[in-house]
Amino acid sequence: MEQSVLVIGGGPAGLSAARTLGGLEVKTYLVEKAQKLGGRPILEDYHTLIPRKMKPSQVLGPFIEEVQSNPNVEVFLNTEVEEVSGSGGNFSVKLSNGKTLKVGAIVVATGFTHFDPKRKGELGFGIYPDVITNLQLEQMFSREGKLYRPSNGELPKRVAFVFCVGSRDRQLGVTNVHCCRYGCALSGLQAMEIRQKYPEVDVFCYYMDVRTYGTWEYPFYWEPQEKFGVRYVRGRIAEITYSPQDGRLRVKHEDTIVQRPAEIPMDLVVLVLGMEPSEGTKKVAKLLNLKQNPDSLFIEPADEVGDPTVSNVEGVFIAGACKGPIDIESSISDGRSAGVNAALYLRGAKVGA
């Protein structure tokens, strides 16, 4: 049994796994294909995180520092896994930097990618500059510190959030029927941020139903409405168009509470994006023969094992958004659990089925 672990992916889940393993004094290799650690929240400059309203650097900075300073953890940036041979206890892994590693266990934490909103052509993304994604709104806040209409740089008078773009959508086929889990709560937070900074801007949230699950219900559903005057409209969006007469967008929808079609002028429309498995997740799943959901292609835990970080391949553990939509705190817990399982496995403990 090789006494070392490979962690693939340096996002919240992989960082947490590597930090746990390093803390347990297990020799750990952390391979990240991007040029820095932190996963999507750091690589893509998220602004403020649900649920604690902290900055990505506040949440993930300590993980990055610990992983980088722990002598048990060796980090490879700009690197991917090319080939894997052997089996649990004795894997041989070829990296894209030419190095070959011998490891006893592997933690897969290769994460997700965003739904491409161009696949929902009727929403006008890529056609009208004032239709943006919720990721672009995060970046507007974090990189530029202000809200504006990309078409003319002016402050919008009305902003609409459209929930569930690429989530819970059977029109896209079977691949995107899952809920993204973070979207309703993040939209509540972004809507409050807009109203707090620009009280003159009206904000509307168009939803199928609101899934601010668990303790997120009050701070990210009721508070936006009761304290910040955000308006929630239960409606299905039929189309987003542009009116050259007034230079504003038109959100055409059916209000499913009053059961009437409506068309509201908007200055900025924010599409709340769903999550899909990343290319890295799909590639690594194939390299390691991991079980994937046949429709979404997210990696699935082993059958009939109660532990969600145990995969169908002995010695391989799975954590975070490579398994489906998940929030950052749960990704961190998941990474820790996968790290502990990998360490137990090296010590000969029975992990899994």
Measured over the CA atoms of residue 136, residue 138, residue 139 and residue 145, the dihedral's sign is: positive
Distance from C-alpha of 300 to C-alpha of 335, rounded to nearest angstrom: 15
Tell me which H or E stretch contains 22.
helix 12-23
Measured over the CA atoms of residue 223, residue 228, residue 234 and residue 235, the dihedral's sign is: negative
The least distance separating ligand FAD from the CB of residue 105, rounded to whole angstroms, comes to 17
By CB under 6 A, residue 301 contacts ligand FAD: no
By CB under 6 A, residue 280 contacts ligand FAD: yes
Angle between helical axes of 12-23 and 56-69 (0-180°, round to 10): 40
Q: Pick from 22, 104, 111, 315: which binds ligand FAD (CB under 6 A)?
A: 111
Cβ-closest position to ligand FAD? 280
Angle between helical axes of 12-23 and 328-346 (0-180°, round to 10): 40
The least distance separating ligand FAD from the CB of residue 26, rounded to whole angstroms, comes to 19
User: Which range of residues in 11-19, 222-230, 260-268, 336-344 is near ligand FAD by CB under 6 A?
Assistant: 11-19
Q: Pick from 23, 24, 34, 139: which binds ligand FAD (CB under 6 A)?
A: 34
The least distance separating ligand FAD from the CB of residue 33, rounded to whole angstroms, comes to 4
Q: Pick from 29, 141, 182, 221: which binds ligand FAD (CB under 6 A)?
A: 182
CA atoms within 13 A on the CB side of 11: 30
> In this complex, which beta carbon is closest to ligand FAD, that of residue 166 or of residue 235?
166
How many residues comprise the chain? 353
> In this complex, which beta carbon is closest to ligand FAD, that of residue 220 or of residue 345?
220
3-state percent helix, strand, coil for the chain, nearest multiple of 5 = 30, 30, 40
DSSP per-residue codes, 126-177:
TTSTTEEEHHHHHHIIIII-S---TTTSPPPSEEEEEEEETSS-GGG-STT-
Q: Which two tokens stand for residue 38?
A: 């932190």
The least distance separating ligand FAD from the CB of residue 102, rounded to whole angstroms, comes to 18
The least distance separating ligand FAD from the CB of residue 125, rounded to whole angstroms, comes to 14
By CB under 6 A, residue 186 contacts ligand FAD: yes
How far is residue 130 from each of residues 44, 121, 150, measured CA to CA in Å? 20, 14, 6
Q: Pick from 22, 39, 117, 339: which binds ligand FAD (CB under 6 A)?
A: 39
The least distance separating ligand FAD from the CB of residue 331, rounded to whole angstroms, comes to 4
By CB under 6 A, residue 49 contacts ligand FAD: yes
Q: Pick from 31, 147, 205, 318: which binds ligand FAD (CB under 6 A)?
A: 31
Question: Residues near 349 by Cβ (< 8 Å), separated by ≥ 6?
Answer: none
The least distance separating ligand FAD from the CB of residue 156, rounded to whole angstroms, comes to 19
By CB under 6 A, residue 278 contacts ligand FAD: yes
| List of residues contacting ligand FAD (CB under 6 A) | 8-14, 31-34, 39-41, 46, 49-50, 80-81, 109-112, 114, 134-135, 138, 182, 186, 273, 278, 280, 283-284, 320-321, 326-329, 331
